Structure 1
Amino acid sequence: MGEDGFEQCFACNSASGEPATNNIPKDGSEWVDLLVREIMTSSGIEDARARAFRALDVLEKSIVAWANVEATKNFHNESMILKEQVKLLLGENTILKKAVAIQHQRQKEFEEKNQELESLKQLLSRYQEQLRKLEVNNYALAMHLKQAQQGSLMPDRFHPDIF
């Protein structure tokens, strides 16, 4: 491949600064073929060493470029997933806020009903006491009336105004 072959193999796009991947080997066997071709076309040990160094340098750059592309894809995918999760959590949060507001309103109504119930219990207690007193008074009056009626029927007792 030679020096021009490596530069062709891993040329950078001038606009984006990213490597052009159209001439880069795609898998391990293509990388082995590239390395073998470079070594076979070398003129000696130093040339073979330089060619192997350049081939490994291109391999390293392609791995880094691939890793960057994959990391960017993964970051984008994770970002999209997290955005979707945030959207779902915000929706659930809204629902929970509504539920808490409803529960708060119900609790407030419950406390108001409890206060009303306590007031009614106290009122009932007062009315029961009042009823008991009225029943006692009624019984006492009934006894007085009965005694008064029995007293006027006694023969030895005369009405003082008549005689």
Structure 2
Amino acid sequence: MLSNGQLDAISGNPPATDNCQTNHHSSEWVELFVREMMSASDINDARARASRALEVIEKSIMERTGAEAVQNLHKENTMLKEQLAIALRENAVLKRGVAIQHERQKEFDDKTQEVHNLKQLILQYQEQLKTLEINNYALRMHLQQAQQNSSMPGRFHPDVC
């Protein structure tokens, strides 16, 4: 930061005050400006002092707004990092949820396929049972017919009971 003395040293003129910093409030800037004008030896010196004082004021404002902008950007950056961390945690939770849901869906699909296969097997067994019942009925009929035509009723071949 430049002091009033530094401003005068730059301009080659003696300082009006020694310890005035560039980060003054508006009333302090006015006082600094008035002292600089009062210290001017002529109109050209007053113009030069006014020009340098305005440059110092502008530089101070730019530094202050620059520092504020940096601070605001830092705050915004910190806030965005926090939001990103939250979003990443939520994303991880969602990914786990999707993985769990996918696994459950896969298990459901496997069970559904197993149920379908078992239904097909039941249909095959029912068809096989029906065929066996028909064959059994036919064999009973043949046995009954064979018994009626037999010369020795009540005596069966040892393999047929």
> Quick check: TM above 0.5?
yes
The answer for the alignment partner of 1:92 in structure 2 is 90
The offset of 1:49, in angstroms, is 0.3
Contact kept? 1:6, 1:55, Cα under 8 Å: no
Change (3 A) 1:159 1:56: closer
Letter in 2 for 1:112: D
Q: Residue 125 of structure 1 is aligned with which of 120, 123, 126?
A: 123
Identity of aligned residues (%): 50
The offset of 1:83, in angstroms, is 1.7
Deviations 1:1-51 (A, max 9, x none): xxx835169x9xxxxxxxxx9723533233223222322332221111011
Letter in 2 for 1:7: Q
Q: Partners in 1 of 2:98 and 2:72 — Cα distance?
A: 38
The answer for the alignment partner of 1:5 in structure 2 is 4
The answer for the alignment partner of 1:14 in structure 2 is none
Gaps of 5+ in 1: 12-20, 153-157
The offset of 1:61, in angstroms, is 1.2
Contact kept? 2:36, 2:46, Cα under 8 Å: yes
Letter in 2 for 1:5: N
Matches within 5 A, 1:1-163: 5-7=4-6, 23-137=21-135, 140=138, 144=141, 148=145
Letter in 1 for 2:74: H
The offset of 1:98, in angstroms, is 1.3
For normalisation by structure 2, the TM-score amounts to 0.69
Deviations 1:61-104 (A, max 9, x none): 10121122112212211221122122112211221221122112
Change (3 A) 1:161 1:34: closer
Q: How many residues align?
A: 142
Q: Cα RMSD over matched residues?
A: 3.4
Contact kept? 1:42, 1:48, Cα under 8 Å: yes
Change (3 A) 1:133 1:161: closer
The answer for the alignment partner of 2:158 in structure 1 is none
Letter in 1 for 2:4: G
Q: Partners in 2 of 1:141 and 1:7 — Cα distance?
A: 127
